[in-house]
Amino acid sequence: MDLIVQTGQQALMNIIANIIFIGMALYALQGLRIEQLFKKGKTFQIQLFYIFMSIVIGSTVADFFLNFLSWSKMIPYIYQ
């Protein structure tokens, strides 16, 4: 039963971390002038680009963060 609870907690933490880092990436990307790379009047494509890039960047950062957290929990096993 403990493994089920732990798996559920880890899944919830993964979801929350991904949402937070995707949101942070979207916020950071809005500081760039990416619109200049697109043709005029292509607002939907620009918004889609922002969304996809924020997912790519945010998921990558979240994976790094979650891996780092997992690895730091394994450090005590060095001394066993």
In the structure, what pLDDT confidence band is assigned to residue 1 with cuts at 50, 70 and 90? Answer: low
**Residue count of the chain:** 80
Three-class DSSP labels, 46-62: HHHHHHHHHHHHHHHHH
pTM here is 0.84
Domain coverage including residue 14? 2-79
Report the pLDDT value the prediction gives residue 50, as an integer from 0 to 100: 93
Number of domains in the chain: 1
**31: helix, coil or strand?**
coil
